[in-house]
Structure 1
Amino acid sequence: MPRTKSTCLRASDFIEPAIFLKPNCPVTGKSYIARLFHHLSTQRRKFPVRRLLTHITPLRRFTMFTLAATLTLTSLGGAVGHAQEKLAPVPSDSQPADQTTEPVVIVTLGSLNQLTQDINYITDAFGVPQFGGTFEIMSGMFARGIDRDLPVGVLVPLVDGAPEPIAMLPTSDVKQVLKQLEAQTGPVDELDDGTLVINVGANVVFIRQVGNWAIVARNRNVLDQAPADPTAIISAMGTDYDLAIRLDLQQIPAQVRDALIGQLRQGFNQAMQQQGGPDADQARQMAEQSMDQLEQVVSQTDDLMIGLNIDGSNREIVLDASFTAVPGTELATVYQGQKPIPSSYSMVIRDDAAGYLHAASSISPETLKQAKAGIENALKMAGSALGQIDELSEADVEDATDMIKRITDLTLKSYEDGKVDMGAVLLTDANVMQFALGTYVADGAEAASIVKDIANKLEGRGDAPRFEFDRDTYKGVVLHLIEADIPADADELRKVFGETVRVHLGTGEKSLYAALGDASVPLMMEMIDSAAGDNQPTAKHLAQFELNMMPILQFAQSIESNDAILTMIDSLSRASDAGTLRVLSSAIDNGQSTRIVIRDGMLRAIGAAYRQAQQKKMQEGNF
């Protein structure tokens, strides 16, 4: 898509590796990083509530870390392009590089046998087994001489400050492998010491046979930097994952990281100069806080690992991600204070659930400090954004801003108690859905007061919900009710809830509960019973989420029959699971790990839905 003359920024720039190294826009004169900051800042102003929430949740730290790691990799990758002249092939009589770091990046690819098995599984699960067969045939044709039981690895150390990739191929006869590629690379030259030389496009590549491995690099002397036994470095990652990447940020010289931060700050300053409007000062202050946290992440992160495994034997896809901070740093202190705790809401973790969400974690003082830093500016921006909505009067804006502040204050007060403890669960059956949640709050009476004040503000409006407070008490929890009429044209909602949706609330001394619909009240009572018991179990994870497609699809089909849903149910009925998606977040030393698991049933259901959609297009003539 061509760049528009107004911004010179396109969507692909957000994933383009060299975005931060591109020249200024010829139309506006602004750098690409400045335009990126400008875009992010304007989006932030459009969604102040979301921005407010990210200031007070652990998700913000994860987002900041991911951005920092991406930008660091971008900076490192860009350095490769700018160092082409410096990294030209080194003559045989040159001295080896004087300064070589440990690998900054390690990339592994699973063995051919492992990849073949897993690709056959995933293509079969999606209903396109022919693609798996194609991969098996192609790998057999072009990988002769490669050991099919060992992974492939790439190490990227810094040599004299510049990244130098070193590839390691498992083969005891690399000449046989190269012979198959002569049509693409031309004949192989052999130097006096046995080093092989080939041309790959405009690049010269050096290859050396070391035992049962072929070592490949752009720089002849860098071959000496390869490990004597590659399996000691890459075997674990290569066996556990089909594709894995490990980034060691502390191996990147401080001056490179400082240069990256300098680029970010320059782009930030350019973007902030373009800011206008009534909330420009708040936007700048909030962005400055974000920059400070991003700088902390870049400078204090130790390593990042991401691994993807298509596990044919267990019939699932697993994505692992973990990161750690440098021990003794402020960032490490944040994560050291984040541990699983005893939970009042662990009952939501149940085998018969269509879905659940559970989180039970301690909160460090450093986390609370970072959350508080952005709250005041976020509230000001929220008030400014509400003031720009034409449908709201000045009094409405003032009331809404006040409610946001009270909710935020209550959330921060709960965080000050040093923990997060919450659970939500969804159960479904034919024509019946139950949903309930419970969460710890520092002051349940204040939570009830906020809802009552909202009811007072809405009183007299024709379309306002109806409120009934203090209807009953159950085990110290005061019960309330909110009712709202469903519009006549909302046919699907009426099929689920009837003409009126009823939300039941419960407020305890240190708790808040909600149940959606009358059928969910027994589930909420069960949750209250569980929370009132002694010896609450300690959570196994900081947070966990699970979704099962089969009960949700069966409920949807019972409400209104649909061919696509029926196709997915039929596919799930032949799977070994209920179409499960699971996300687990765990504490590790000085950091955090996350595992995402997609089970076989969900893959087959998605594949079935896709195939049915394609068949429908063909029948309708929409090729």
Structure 2
Amino acid sequence: MKRTQVLTLLVAALLGVFAFGASQSAMAELTKPMATISFSGHDAVISDIDYLGKLGDNPDLAMVAEGFLAAATQGKGLDGLDKARPWGVALFPNPTDPTEEPTVVLFIPVTDAKKLLAVLNEAGMETKDGADGAVQIVLPDAPMELHAKQIGTWAFVTNKKDYLGDMPADPLAWLGGTEAKYDIALRVIVQNIPGTLRETFVQQLEFLLQMAAMQSPNQAAAAQMQQVVAQIKRMANELDAVTVGAAINDASGKTYLDVEVTAVSGTETAQDFARVKPAPSRMSGFYVPEATVVIQSVATMSKDEIARAVESVKSAHGQFVEELANQDLPEEQLSKVKKVIGDLVNIATKTIEGGKTDLGASLWLDADKAAVVVGSLIVDGKELEATLKEMVELAVAETPELASMIQLNAAEFEGISLHTFTMPVPPVDERETVVELIGETVEAVVGTSEDAVYVAIGRDAMAKLKAAISGSKSSAGENVLPSRMSLAVTPLVRFIGKVVPNEEAKFQMEMVAGMLEQAGSENHVLMTVEPVANGMRQRIEIEQGILKMLGTMSKMATQGMSPMP
């Protein structure tokens, strides 16, 4: 299991325990929230809606949104709210008894809290005047009571009325700056979660993983699960904070979702994160921006990651050998297949134990262009070449006609041996679609060198592979991000429209692809991993063309609606 997979599991589990078990916490101060939610403010959100509407030729979208808000509040809108400033929610552990509910504080910028509370009355919530200017809010059909009070230019709403006198002059300090970076963000401050709650989280997660391991007959998988548990135990104590934030049309005009994870300085987890940094890649030519799907990764693995990856390869190998035993192959053939598979596993294991990954890949799904190219560093390319020859001998022995289709050492390019395979497209289902994508002939090329392997399959495979190799050579000294991926949505949607059997789905895909094409060439979803201080940030960015398409769809959805006067 890779670092990003473990982080995803850890973040999901932390947030789940936070929501389920926050009542078990035992911190004592309102200065250290366990978690916060930040909201950039009313005006910022309306501006984002207006931005999306104008992109999609729906300039009234923000007015429609304001109209719905006015209708929901009997025409009062959010009277009394300071619409220009951000607001948020903070969760604090119970200061005296870990079995009691935590303290929740909602803080809202106001010009007049009484006017804003009047809006709640219109929404069916009852308010009662209390002591010292406080107001009790009774939620309909709910046992919880909330208490509100205006202090300066802030209205504080909490489930603990005794704390209303302890509120800070500037509650934005609780948010750690997320209100300025994102339109909306959730931040879990792991180090502010009581140790007992973190222990509960680890115990619950360990139980779930043990149950999953018990269901697996593979001992290697069970061992890998134990390694994951050990790492999560460490990270639960060493993580500093986890932030999930979204921004629309930020200062640079970008729209994205971030997941940022940081560790306590000086810990082993912080050292692991320090490995996530830009580095030179020998496979940058395989990152072709014009392709439909493009991936690149360059990284140095930790000892834990190496151990988990090796266990994963062993587990897959064991499962394959078990399945192979059920194929009723002749003993001699079975022995040869096992040897080839064992050699491949040995190469993969040695490569993993080398501790470095350098991979690039591009996939084209356009009509007349469908192909894939992949390049990766490995530890022993010559051993792979020898194993490839053994695989060819096995295949030809079983299917002699393959001999005329396979050519080992067909060419050499930049010191790389190139081996080719060509065959006519067989009479398969949807053959016409396959031919439209890759042509009448299936073309594949495998390249091997001392420490790398290269693969290309599809239309113009040889030309695409040579171009990627040349591009990699010319940019070999340039630093690249630890991980990056680009997904071109328009050709992907068109491809789905070609291969789905359902006619209605085909029509819908063509309609969406048409809207995307009208929106322009900025139709990518971009995914990157970058280092931050003591941590890493994963970002998913959505380009403007996709937002234009979403704006156009919102116009279709809101046609006939008009904002309230």
The verdict on how the C-alpha distance between 1:307 and 1:98 changes in structure 2, with shifts beyond 3 A counting, is: closer
SS at match of 1:142: coil
SS at match of 2:519: coil
Q: Identify the residue that residue 218 of structure 1 maps to in structure 2.
A: 159
The verdict on how the C-alpha distance between 1:365 and 1:513 changes in structure 2, with shifts beyond 3 A counting, is: same
Report the TM-score when normalising by structure 1.
0.76
Q: Deviations over 1:251-286 (max 9, x none)?
A: 11111111222233344555656x47xx35444333
SS at match of 1:188: strand
Contact 2:42 2:83 in 1 (8 A): yes
2:368 is equivalent to residue 438 of structure 1:
no
The verdict on how the C-alpha distance between 1:439 and 1:82 changes in structure 2, with shifts beyond 3 A counting, is: closer
Given candidates 477, 493, 502, the residue that maps to 2:416 is: 477
The verdict on how the C-alpha distance between 1:354 and 1:238 changes in structure 2, with shifts beyond 3 A counting, is: same
Q: Identify the residue that residue 57 of structure 1 maps to in structure 2.
A: none
**Aligned 1:50-61 pairs, distance under 5 A:** 54=1, 60-61=2-3
Bigger relative contact order, structure 1 or 2 (CA pairs below 8 A, ≥6 apart): 2
Q: Identify the residue that residue 48 of structure 2 maps to in structure 1.
A: 118
Larger deviation: 569-578 or 217-226?
Answer: 569-578
Instruction: Tell me how far 1:506 sits from its aligned partner.
Output: 1.1
Instruction: Provide the C-alpha distance between the structure 2 equivalents of 1:78 and 1:316, rounded to a whole number of angstroms.
Output: 34
Q: Identify the residue that residue 107 of structure 1 maps to in structure 2.
A: 37
Instruction: Provide the C-alpha distance between the structure 1 equivalents of 2:178 and 2:399, rounded to a whole number of angstroms.
Output: 62
Instruction: Provide the C-alpha distance between the structure 2 equivalents of 1:507 and 1:199, rounded to a whole number of angstroms.
Output: 72
Given candidates 81, 99, 102, the residue that maps to 1:163 is: 102
2:4 is equivalent to residue 62 of structure 1:
yes
The verdict on how the C-alpha distance between 1:229 and 1:449 changes in structure 2, with shifts beyond 3 A counting, is: same
| Identical pairs, percent | 22
Letter aligned with residue 118 of structure 2: K
SS at match of 1:585: strand
Q: Identify the residue that residue 249 of structure 2 maps to in structure 1.
A: 311
The verdict on how the C-alpha distance between 1:536 and 1:463 changes in structure 2, with shifts beyond 3 A counting, is: same
Instruction: Provide the C-alpha distance between the structure 1 equivalents of 2:50 and 2:219, rounded to a whole number of angstroms.
Output: 56
Q: Identify the residue that residue 386 of structure 2 maps to in structure 1.
A: 449
SS at match of 2:170: coil
Contact 1:333 1:366 in 2 (8 A): no
The verdict on how the C-alpha distance between 1:463 and 1:327 changes in structure 2, with shifts beyond 3 A counting, is: farther
Instruction: Provide the C-alpha distance between the structure 2 equivalents of 1:558 and 1:469, rounded to a whole number of angstroms.
Output: 35
- Structure 2: give runs of 5+ residues left out of the alignment: 71-75, 558-565
Larger deviation: 117-126 or 418-427?
Answer: 117-126
Report the TM-score when normalising by structure 2.
0.83
Instruction: Tell me how far 1:612 sits from its aligned partner.
Output: 10
Instruction: Tell me how far 1:460 sits from its aligned partner.
Output: 3.6
Contact 1:355 1:426 in 2 (8 A): yes
Q: Deviations over 1:460-490 (max 9, x none)?
A: 4349864221112122100101234433133
Q: Identify the residue that residue 561 of structure 2 maps to in structure 1.
A: none
**Aligned 1:133-212 pairs, distance under 5 A:** 133-140=63-70, 141-160=76-95, 161=98, 163-184=102-123, 186-201=125-140, 202-212=143-153
Contact 1:355 1:548 in 2 (8 A): yes
2:396 is equivalent to residue 459 of structure 1:
yes
Letter aligned with residue 420 of structure 1: T
Q: Deviations over 1:162-181 (max 9, x none)?
A: 53211111113111111122
Aligned residues: 539
The verdict on how the C-alpha distance between 1:396 and 1:104 changes in structure 2, with shifts beyond 3 A counting, is: farther
Contact 2:13 2:205 in 1 (8 A): no
Contact 1:125 1:604 in 2 (8 A): yes
Aligned-pair Cα RMSD in Å = 3.8
Given candidates 230, 254, 258, the residue that maps to 1:320 is: 258
2:353 is equivalent to residue 423 of structure 1:
no
Q: Deviations over 1:527-561 (max 9, x none)?
A: 3234445862111x111111224466789999999
Q: Identify the residue that residue 291 of structure 1 maps to in structure 2.
A: 229
Instruction: Tell me how far 1:303 sits from its aligned partner.
Output: 1.1
Q: Deviations over 1:1-34 (max 9, x none)?
A: xxxxxxxxxxxxxxxxxxxxxxxxxxxxxxxxxx
Q: Identify the residue that residue 562 of structure 2 maps to in structure 1.
A: none
Letter aligned with residue 259 of structure 2: A
Q: Identify the residue that residue 483 of structure 2 maps to in structure 1.
A: 543
Instruction: Tell me how far 1:147 sits from its aligned partner.
Output: 1.1
Instruction: Provide the C-alpha distance between the structure 2 equivalents of 1:415 and 1:512, rounded to a whole number of angstroms.
Output: 14
Instruction: Provide the C-alpha distance between the structure 2 equivalents of 1:507 and 1:527, rounded to a whole number of angstroms.
Output: 14
2:535 is equivalent to residue 591 of structure 1:
yes
The verdict on how the C-alpha distance between 1:291 and 1:394 changes in structure 2, with shifts beyond 3 A counting, is: farther
**Aligned 1:43-54 pairs, distance under 5 A:** 54=1
- Structure 1: give runs of 5+ residues left out of the alignment: 1-53, 55-59, 87-96, 614-623
Contact 2:136 2:147 in 1 (8 A): yes
The verdict on how the C-alpha distance between 1:139 and 1:382 changes in structure 2, with shifts beyond 3 A counting, is: same
2:243 is equivalent to residue 243 of structure 1:
no
Instruction: Provide the C-alpha distance between the structure 2 equivalents of 1:587 and 1:433, rounded to a whole number of angstroms.
Output: 34
